[in-house]
Amino acid sequence: MIIRNLLFGSLAAIFFIGCGDSPSPGANGGKPTINNKTGLIERNFDLAQVKRGEAVYQANCTGCHGQNGEATPDWRKPNPDGKYPPPPLDSSAHAWHHSTEVLKKTILKGTPPEIGSMPAWEGKLTEQQIDDVVVWIKSLWSDEIYDLWYKNFEGK
Ligand code: HEC
């Protein structure tokens, strides 16, 4: 009987934990957590930083990468000069194949003009603005894509 009660007690505890509400965005000091319901990484981004990043993006990047990072549908086809059009930065292309460091470096240094037409933002944007815009880019990704990205680059 005692064993049965203990067993029931621990099952109830597991059930209770399993049904806990996931933290609201920006909770937990911005540290990622695991969503109890989906099992996926929860971003918990600082919403003020996401907003700052969005402003940096709107002021500098929409002309090439689109209003919401969607760019153009034909981004895989090279231009006549052999360079590629700006890729989307959302889940649909490969921005999420890169670590935070590589994304920052791409934005800071751009691509060499003989290879691509991504401008260098070093000296034009502060490091804080670049950190903010990278967080905004990550906020565009779906939960599944962010989860994959996190496990590849941060979760080791
Ligand atoms: C003049 C057009 C142009 C502007 C403006 C521009 N980009 Fe780009 N960006 C590109 C192109 C073109 C590429 C692809 C580079 C290549 O083919 O080498 C690119 C690539 C990138 C990548 C790498 C994506 C990947 O999948 O590897 C990131 C990240 C990025 N841009 C962010 C930004 C941000 C943030 C801004 C604004 C601060 C910005 N870009 C402004 C043209 C632009």
pLDDT digits (tens, 9 = 90+) for 77-113: 999 999 999 999 999 999 999 999 999 999 999 999 9
In the predicted structure, residue 25 carries a pLDDT above the cut 60: no
Q: Whose CA is nearest to atom 37 of ligand 1?
A: 61
Positive or negative, the CA dihedral 60, 107, 128, 147 is positive
Q: How many residues are listed for the chain in this entry?
A: 156
CA distance 52 to 67: 15
CA distance 112 to 91: 25
Mean pLDDT for 34-63 is: 96
Cβ-contact 142, 91 below 8 angstroms: yes
* Chain segment 132-156, per-residue pLDDT in tens: 999 999 999 999 999 999 999 998 6
C-alpha closest to that of 135 among 107, 108, 100: 100
Residues touching ligand 1 (Cβ under 6 Å) are: 60-61, 63-65, 84, 86-87, 89, 93-95, 98, 103, 106-107, 111, 115-119, 121, 133
* Chain segment 88-98, per-residue pLDDT in tens: 999 999 999 99
In the predicted structure, residue 10 carries a pLDDT above the cut 70: no
The pLDDT score that the predictor gives to residue 31 is 85
| pLDDT averaged over every residue in the chain | 86
The pLDDT score that the predictor gives to residue 110 is 97
CA distance 103 to 120: 12
Q: Which amino acid is at 48?
A: A
Tell me the CA–centroid distance for residue 137 and ligand 1, in Å: 12
Which atom of ligand 1 lies nearest, measured to the CA of 56? Answer: 38
CA distance 64 to 36: 38
Mean pLDDT for 55-64 is: 98
* Chain segment 26-44, per-residue pLDDT in tens: 556 678 899 999 999 999 9
- The Cα-based distances of 96 to 10, 43, 152 in angstroms read 40, 14, 10
CA 155 and chain centroid, separation:
14
Q: Whose CA is nearest to atom 9 of ligand 1?
A: 118
**Residue showing tokens 């003989």:** 114
CA distance 103 to 84: 17
Tell me the CA–centroid distance for residue 94 and ligand 1, in Å: 12
